[in-house]
């Protein structure tokens, strides 16, 4: 009987250690720092079409420390299951001017970014669905600030 109790205690201790470790991973990934694979043409030439692995921190947007020029992960307003990587080009109160059709380049539109919103665009305006298509984005859709590329090795380094 004592052996059974001793074995049960050991199993519970190990299960407790595993549970603590998984909680630590969840908190770190959700609230502090995570890695993300970014693919597609919308952020060329900053990020590769075939895919980059980037590090994202999740503290700046909670503290209001994101601004023009920052690369951010945002939840898509069109498909909430998708996460987009774009650059902030306008903050609340800014007036943003952009080409209505970047392929023609002759007709520009100006929009003011409302309070509590940001304006995001891909670096490759010819291949990006961004605020030019769906308008200003609520600040709450920002998931994190991209700050470092870890893959591919030749491009390893800061993105700020």
Active site residues: 42, 86
Identify which of 121, 124, 126 has the alpha carbon closest to the alpha carbon of residue 103: 126
Planar angle of CA 42, 119, 121, nearest 5 degrees: 15
């Amino acid at each position: 009987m004592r052996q059974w109790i001793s074995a049960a205690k050991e199993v519970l201790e190990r299960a407790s250690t595993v549970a603590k470790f998984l909680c630590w991973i969840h908190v770190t990934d959700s609230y502090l720092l995570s890695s993300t694979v970014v693919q597609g043409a919308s952020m060329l030439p900053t990020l590769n079409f075939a895919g980059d692995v980037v590090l994202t921190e999740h503290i700046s947007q909670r503290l209001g420390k994101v601004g023009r020029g920052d690369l951010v992960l945002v939840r898509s307003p069109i498909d909430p299951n998708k996460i987009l990587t774009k650059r902030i080009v306008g903050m609340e109160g800014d007036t943003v001017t952009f080409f209505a059709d970047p392929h023609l380049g002759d007709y520009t539109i100006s929009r003011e970014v409302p309070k509590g919103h940001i304006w995001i665009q891909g670096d490759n305006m010819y291949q990006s669905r961004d605020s030019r298509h769906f308008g200003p984005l609520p600040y709450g859709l920002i998931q994190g600030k991209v700050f470092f590329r870890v893959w591919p090795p030749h491009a390893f380094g800061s993105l700020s």
